[in-house]
Chains A and B, each alone.
Chain A
Amino acid sequence: MKKSRDDYLTIFFIGIAALYILASLALPMYAILSKSIENKDGLFIGLTNYKYYFSNPSLFYSIYNSLFVSIITTVISVTLSFLFAYALTRSCMAAKPFFRSIAMIPILLPSLLAGIALIYLFGNQGVFKELLMGKSIYGPIGIVIAEVFYTFPHALLIIITALSIADARLYEAAKVLRASPLRTFFTVTVPSAKYGIMSACFVVFTLVITDFGIPKVVGGQYNVLAIDVYKQVIGQQNFEMGAVVSVVLLVPALLAFIVDRIVQKKQVSILTARSVVYEPKPNKTFDMIMFAYCSLIALLILTVVGMCLYASLIKFWPYNLSLSLKNYQFDLMDGGGWDSYYNSIKMASYTALFGTIIVFTSAYFIEKARSFRGARTMMHLLSMMPMAIPGMVLGLAYIFFFNSLSNPLNFLYGSMAILVICTITHFYTVSHLTALTALKQIDNEFESVSSSLKQPFYKMFFSVTVPISLPAIFEIGIYFFVNAMTTVSAVVFIYGPKTTLASVAVLNMDDAGDIAPAAAMGMMIFYTNAAVRIVYVLVTKKILVHFQQWRHKV
């Protein structure tokens, strides 16, 4: 068939998107893989670096440590969040929206902050030091507690989704067949949430094994893979070994990703058009227990945040507890001062703006273009890749790729642009899936109607697709913003003297022993994210409602 104007535009955009993915993902990843089999002079030495790595027990032991904390955290975090999600979806307890909001707080903080809070709570001069009964918070205990805090909302969101697609008819059937509540739980509830639980496990596992902030702050002498990458690169300037550890770190993340994809494919939609939504019925004892449990979790979360808030506001822990804002005088410390904070805001705004445009437009072509099936499938697969790549690995890959003098894109190195590109890529997959879900809900015939009416697709895109998808588009923007504010792992390798970031400043101030200012900077990130989130809620409530009148029947 002859190509129409729309077809040429589609080819053009897919071509640009392909080039973008090549430069922001494929080539950097190629760079890091090839670096791991080169020596310092850039000569090919096969697997020599790997042989060295696996024969070095102190490095090799990190694999065990990483797996250990990741698995323990996964079990604890998924169990706690399952109970919490169960309370939110299956009980009639009071204050559900409150509990839900509190549970989301950790998403708004850099993961490091949880570590800092633990130091104030259980460190050498900690408030509750005695509770550890002589054990040190520095090490696996601290890592696991902080990681559970950090991963809790991620697991919770997935499990809430899984639990809220319950079909009331199954529960009625179980009741009619006189199954006990326990039997109903194991034969109806768990199987229907099975894939959600598995997915939560993979997500938590990947988050923990690739996280670098928490082990950096409370890990002490306990080495994990992500720390090794950092140490090799920043501490010893051994880029080749950094690349090797990165590849090693890539393996479990990639495996978890692949297994998760396979599991997700097996999930058939259990919620059909005929399903009846499950409505929990009041049960005093059960509701009370659930309320108590959620209160406890909420209290723990608020304690962590409250501790940081308090620590950031007092003069000198634990000797002078009078309140002051001196810890917020960032310009007096290392880490780039207030400029870091402004840079972060700038970086997060650009990421939200450009990330949303790139993600949504690409997802549109992937989902709605009429031809080029092969190219579109390829683009989708590439869009799924970033989920499997740890931030540290991505950041290091960017050094190798963009810092190379032979690269025409070298001028980007050390600029704000590279931070934005890297962050967009780092958080690409989840945004891509959000966009895809929204687009899949839009009638596929819109494009056909538009072309039968001889209108270019972009007219339809701007006057119909975008307005309909506004909620998803805002959601993607917020997701990019919040994550760009908190991320450390990818950007820690590529920020420049003029582009220091708040989240990295938290890391560096903590490193320099300025823990209170680090907490203060972390809280600044939290305030900003919370404010953005609140504005977002207001915007969706007021303005979006105005633009979305068409959704309502009256």
Chain B
Amino acid sequence: MSEYLKVTNISKSFGKFQALKEASFSVNEGELVCILGPSGCGKTTLLRVIAGLEEQSSGQIVQKGVTISDLPPDQRDFGIVFQSYALFPNLSVRNNITFGLQTRKQDASTMEARLNELLSLIGLESHKNKFPAQLSGGEQQRVALARALAPSPGLLLLDEPLSALDAKVRQFLRLEIKNLQKKLGVTTIMVTHDQEEALSMADRIILMNKGVIEQIGTPHELYSKPNTSFAADFIGKTNIIHASKVSDSKVNMLGKEFECNEPIPQSQVTIAIRPEDIKITQNPNDANTVQGKIIEIEFLGSYSIGQVEVSFDNQKENLICHLPIDNNEASNLAKNSQINFTLSSNSLKIVT
């Protein structure tokens, strides 16, 4: 795969506030990359800089070998869908989609053909003459997508495209957009604060926090090998525990020694453990096993989330873990019961 977009050391300040600090990454042709992060992390600013809607304070952007960072938006090659969709309310679906096609070069029949192609792509052929207010949120979203795709841009930018929709529609459209993107092969950058959305749609995720890129990787990499405690905590639920190094393969935490498969870089480390990696065991003498008391149980249907309190050396540490559900309600674990659980050596992830 060839590199389509290269972003190098982009910084952006608004007055004294630095929204972006030296952001660098690249996007391959045909790839769907999600910029993920909490609100205010600079992800939308980054997208707007790529679009030319904000001017970077420093840094460079190269698209298909051409430096675009000094070009105004109308001289860059991209289509964009905003969170609000920004559909023109007084124009019909048809006129919204053809808005970017009405140039001198296009003759009417080519335009009509392109319109019909896009309409069938988004499955809204019968809504051609409706106004945006007469469409559902999901339909509006697809019209916005078709309008952005109409001039066949090389790069598609999506700014929180699904956040205005309710949960069911959102889930459906996730797949739709992903399939559409793969079908057209258009390089896409999507901004979202929803980790599930990013995990399910992205080829790669760029995780941002406070204007800095924390980690770049495939969804699986980010989930299973978070580099930082922020990454571990933001993507999925996680337990963050402070530990000290005992030997090259052992740490001390929760008042006990634990085997750890990852290299331990320094004497004090931070360890992330996913709740689903905490396994209940009957045998307190198993390796990497510790005892705790369930102080809270939250029933979620297919499983429960338990809060387990581990007491050691006059300290207490709370861990969250997944508890299995038994069909027989009476045989489930109860609040205040003591359990033993194992933190397997390869579930201990060392983060910074």
**Are A1 and B70 also in contact (CB < 8 A) when A454-B151, A550-B132 are?**
yes
Return the contact of B51 from the options A452, A460, A463 (Cβ within 8 A).
A452
- Interface residue? B230 (CB, 8 A): no
Q: Does A455 contact B90, Cβ atoms closer than 8 Å?
A: no
Interface residues of A in 1-47 (CB under 8 A from B): 1-7
Q: Which residues of A contact B90 (CB under 8 A)?
A: 464, 467-468, 548, 550
A549's nearest neighbour on chain B, judged by CB, is B131
Task: Report the bound CA distance from A453 to B153 in whole Å.
Answer: 9
Interface size class of B (residues with CB under 8 A): 20 to 34
Q: Does B73 contact A7, Cβ atoms closer than 8 Å?
A: no
Task: Report the bound CA distance from A547 to B86 in whole Å.
Answer: 20
- Interface residue? A296 (CB, 8 A): no
Q: Does A2 contact B148, Cβ atoms closer than 8 Å?
A: no
Task: Report the bound CA distance from A282 to B91 in whole Å.
Answer: 42
Binding site secondary structure of chain B: loop
B101's nearest neighbour on chain A, judged by CB, is A453
Q: Does B131 contact A550, Cβ atoms closer than 8 Å?
A: yes
Q: Does A445 contact B71, Cβ atoms closer than 8 Å?
A: no
Q: Which residues of A contact B78 (CB under 8 A)?
A: 452
- Interface residue? B223 (CB, 8 A): no
Task: Report the bound CA distance from A463 to B82 in whole Å.
Answer: 20
Q: Does A2 contact B74, Cβ atoms closer than 8 Å?
A: no
- Interface residue? B100 (CB, 8 A): yes
Interface residues of B in 63-82 (CB under 8 A from A): 70-76, 78-80, 82
Q: Does B72 contact A6, Cβ atoms closer than 8 Å?
A: yes
Q: Does A452 contact B131, Cβ atoms closer than 8 Å?
A: no
Task: Report the bound CA distance from A450 to B151 in whole Å.
Answer: 12
Q: Does A453 contact B151, Cβ atoms closer than 8 Å?
A: yes
Q: Does A4 contact B133, Cβ atoms closer than 8 Å?
A: no
Closest chain B CB from A11 CB (angstroms): 13
Q: Does A551 contact B70, Cβ atoms closer than 8 Å?
A: no
**Are A452 and B80 also in contact (CB < 8 A) when A464-B88, A550-B131, A553-B134 are?**
yes
Q: Does A2 contact B100, Cβ atoms closer than 8 Å?
A: no
Task: Report the bound CA distance from A5 to B74 in whole Å.
Answer: 9
- Interface residue? A449 (CB, 8 A): yes
Task: Report the bound CA distance from A467 to B55 in whole Å.
Answer: 31
Closest chain A CB from B183 CB (angstroms): 22
Closest chain A CB from B163 CB (angstroms): 14
Q: Which residues of A contact B52 (CB under 8 A)?
A: 1
- Interface residue? B53 (CB, 8 A): yes
Q: Does A3 contact B72, Cβ atoms closer than 8 Å?
A: yes
Q: A-facing mask of B88-108, CB < 8 A → 1, else 0?
A: 111100000001101100000
Q: Does B99 contact A455, Cβ atoms closer than 8 Å?
A: yes
Task: Report the bound CA distance from A181 to B346 in whole Å.
Answer: 68
- Interface residue? B84 (CB, 8 A): yes
Q: Does A4 contact B89, Cβ atoms closer than 8 Å?
A: no
B74's nearest neighbour on chain A, judged by CB, is A451
Q: Does A445 contact B74, Cβ atoms closer than 8 Å?
A: no
Q: Does A4 contact B72, Cβ atoms closer than 8 Å?
A: yes
Interface residues of A in 268-299 (CB under 8 A from B): none
B99's nearest neighbour on chain A, judged by CB, is A453
Q: Which residues of B contact A370 (CB under 8 A)?
A: 53
Q: Which residues of B contact A552 (CB under 8 A)?
A: 133
Closest chain A CB from B51 CB (angstroms): 7
Q: Which residues of B contact A176 (CB under 8 A)?
A: none
- Interface residue? A448 (CB, 8 A): yes
Closest chain A CB from B126 CB (angstroms): 16
Q: Does B73 contact A452, Cβ atoms closer than 8 Å?
A: yes
B103's nearest neighbour on chain A, judged by CB, is A454
Interface residues of A in 532-554 (CB under 8 A from B): 548-554
Q: Does B132 contact A6, Cβ atoms closer than 8 Å?
A: no
Q: Which residues of A contact B134 (CB under 8 A)?
A: 553-554
Q: Does A448 contact B79, Cβ atoms closer than 8 Å?
A: no
Q: Which residues of A contact B132 (CB under 8 A)?
A: 550
- Count CB-based A-B contacts (< 8 Å): 90
Closest chain B CB from A50 CB (angstroms): 43
- Interface residue? A446 (CB, 8 A): yes
Q: Which residues of A contact B349 (CB under 8 A)?
A: none
Q: Which residues of B contact A450 (CB under 8 A)?
A: 99
Q: Which residues of B contact A455 (CB under 8 A)?
A: 74, 99-100, 102
Interface size class of A (residues with CB under 8 A): 20 to 34
- Interface residue? B147 (CB, 8 A): yes
Q: Which residues of A contact B99 (CB under 8 A)?
A: 450, 453, 455
Return the contact of A448 from the options B53, B75, B91 (Cβ within 8 A).
B53
Task: Report the bound CA distance from A446 to B148 in whole Å.
Answer: 12
Return the contact of B82 from the options A445, A453, A468, A549 (Cβ within 8 A).
A445
Q: Does B73 contact A443, Cβ atoms closer than 8 Å?
A: no
Interface residues of A in 505-554 (CB under 8 A from B): 548-554
Return the contact of A4 from the options B73, B84, B100 (Cβ within 8 A).
B73
Task: Report the bound CA distance from A477 to B202 in whole Å.
Answer: 52
Q: Does A2 contact B75, Cβ atoms closer than 8 Å?
A: yes
Q: Which residues of A contact B70 (CB under 8 A)?
A: 1-2
Closest chain B CB from A191 CB (angstroms): 32
Q: Does A445 contact B86, Cβ atoms closer than 8 Å?
A: yes
Task: Report the bound CA distance from A384 to B99 in whole Å.
Answer: 35
Q: A-facing mask of B35-74, CB < 8 A → 1, else 0?
A: 0000000000000000111010000000000000011111
Q: Does B151 contact A468, Cβ atoms closer than 8 Å?
A: no
Q: B-facing mask of A478-516, CB < 8 A → 1, else 0?
A: 000000000000000000000000000000000000000
Interface residues of B in 142-185 (CB under 8 A from A): 147-148, 150-151, 153
Return the contact of A463 from the options B75, B76, B91, B150 (Cβ within 8 A).
B91
Q: Does A4 contact B75, Cβ atoms closer than 8 Å?
A: yes
B130's nearest neighbour on chain A, judged by CB, is A550
Q: Which residues of A contact B72 (CB under 8 A)?
A: 1-4, 6-7, 451
Task: Report the bound CA distance from A4 to B53 in whole Å.
Answer: 12
Task: Report the bound CA distance from A455 to B102 in whole Å.
Answer: 9
Closest chain B CB from A20 CB (angstroms): 27
A463's nearest neighbour on chain B, judged by CB, is B91
Q: Which residues of A contact B148 (CB under 8 A)?
A: 449, 452-453
Q: Does A448 contact B73, Cβ atoms closer than 8 Å?
A: yes
Closest chain A CB from B132 CB (angstroms): 7
Closest chain B CB from A42 CB (angstroms): 47
Task: Report the bound CA distance from A451 to B82 in whole Å.
Answer: 13
Q: Does B147 contact A551, Cβ atoms closer than 8 Å?
A: no
A550's nearest neighbour on chain B, judged by CB, is B131
Task: Report the bound CA distance from A1 to B76 in whole Å.
Answer: 12
Q: Which residues of B contact A463 (CB under 8 A)?
A: 88, 91
Task: Report the bound CA distance from A451 to B74 in whole Å.
Answer: 5
Closest chain A CB from B339 CB (angstroms): 43
Q: Which residues of B contact A449 (CB under 8 A)?
A: 80, 82, 86, 147-148
Q: Does A4 contact B74, Cβ atoms closer than 8 Å?
A: yes
Q: Does B133 contact A443, Cβ atoms closer than 8 Å?
A: no
Q: Which residues of B contact A464 (CB under 8 A)?
A: 88, 90-91
With a 10 A CB-CB cut-off, give which of A3, A443, A453, A454 has the most chain B CB atoms.
A453
Q: A-facing mask of B112-138, CB < 8 A → 1, else 0?
A: 000000000000000000011110000
Task: Report the bound CA distance from A448 to B86 in whole Å.
Answer: 9
With a 10 A CB-CB cut-off, give which of B52, B72, B102 has the most chain A CB atoms.
B72
With a 10 A CB-CB cut-off, give which of A443, A446, A449, A553 has the most chain B CB atoms.
A449
Q: Which residues of B contact A443 (CB under 8 A)?
A: 82, 84, 86
Task: Report the bound CA distance from A550 to B134 in whole Å.
Answer: 8
Task: Report the bound CA distance from A452 to B99 in whole Å.
Answer: 11
Task: Report the bound CA distance from A468 to B148 in whole Å.
Answer: 21
Instruction: Give A residues with C-beta under 8 Å from B.
Output: 1-7, 370, 443, 445-446, 448-455, 460, 463-464, 467-468, 548-554
Residue pairs across A and B with Cβ atoms less than 8 A apart, 12 shown, are A1-B55, A1-B71, A2-B75, A6-B72, A443-B82, A448-B73, A451-B73, A451-B74, A452-B74, A454-B151, A455-B100, A550-B91
Given contacts A443-B82, A448-B51, A450-B99, 7 further A-B contacts (CB under 8 A): A1-B70, A4-B74, A449-B80, A452-B78, A454-B74, A551-B89, A554-B134
Instruction: Give B residues with C-beta under 8 Å from A.
Output: 51-53, 55, 70-76, 78-80, 82, 84, 86, 88-91, 99-100, 102-103, 131-134, 147-148, 150-151, 153
> Which 5 A-B pairs rank lowest in CB-CB distance, beginning with the nearest?
A453-B100, A4-B72, A445-B86, A550-B131, A451-B74
